[in-house]
Amino acid sequence: MKKVIKIAAVSLLGLAFSVAHADENAIRQALGKAMPSVTVGAVKPSEISGLYEVTVGGNIVYVSDDGKYLIQGHLVDVAARTDLTEEKLGGARKQALEKLGQDKMIVFKPKTSKYTVSIFTDIDCGYCRKLHSEIDQYMAEGITVQYLFFPRAGKGSDSYHKAVSVWCADDRKAALTAAKKGDTPPAKTCVNPVDEHMQLAEDFEVKGTPMIVTEKGNIFPGYLPAKQLAEALADEQGKK
């Protein structure tokens, strides 16, 4: 009798696995057909039966098991008062930034680095300029700053062309610092990651600049003074 129960349990487990695999394939095929330009990452069952959690770039969406319906928004555990989606978004953002790679960012690094943040910036944004004018203060706090471009006026705008010119400059850091002071960088073009930065900003639902992303993928929207940011990063790492 025990042997029969064991065999039945194994069979049910195999059936569940095959159904889940079939659902994942259906979702990938449906999304691939409807949105061919979208790169689908992990697909796994969500906390709601029949609804799958799908990683798209640095974002998370929810899709029905047949791939017919997609829901954008946050899944909240009402009883626990916990935003389940936000908890997982940090990991998705972190992976997306790691996939992009530091070689596609403009990096200001102190001699001794305690923390690393990725900052979406617009050359013509006032608070972005204020933040960069204090870059030495961030370095003094041991904060490595990885810049990504998000020209809010969009592709083809003056801010976009400035971003491309800065990236294509012989000395990117010097060119960025000069541009942040109001100088117009000499027009240059080359292979650049600005469009990738903008796509990532869209995936991260960036609404304004600067937007700071921590090593754990958490977000601090807007300008934060160096000491305040260092305190927040220490809290995140459990050092306070």
Catalytic residues: 122, 125, 128, 152
At which residue do the structure tokens 């195999």 appear? 14
Interhelix angle 172-180/126-133, rounded to 10 degrees, is 120
Q: Determine contact, residues 117/232, Cβ cutoff 8 Å.
A: no
Kindly state the tokens that stand for 208. Answer: 């304004």
At which residue do the structure tokens 């978004």 appear? 89
- Burial of 151-183, coded b for 16+ CB within 10 Å and e otherwise, reads bbeeeeeebbbbbbbbbbbeeeeebbbebbeee
How far is residue 43 CA from its own chain's centroid?
A: 18
- Residue 148: exposure state from Cβ atoms within 10 A (0-12, 13-18, ≥19): buried
Q: Determine contact, residues 203/96, Cβ cutoff 8 Å.
A: yes
In Å, how far are 22, 58, 69, 149 from 206, measured between CA atoms? Answer: 34, 11, 25, 11
The conformation of residue 134, written as its DSSP 8-state character, comes to T
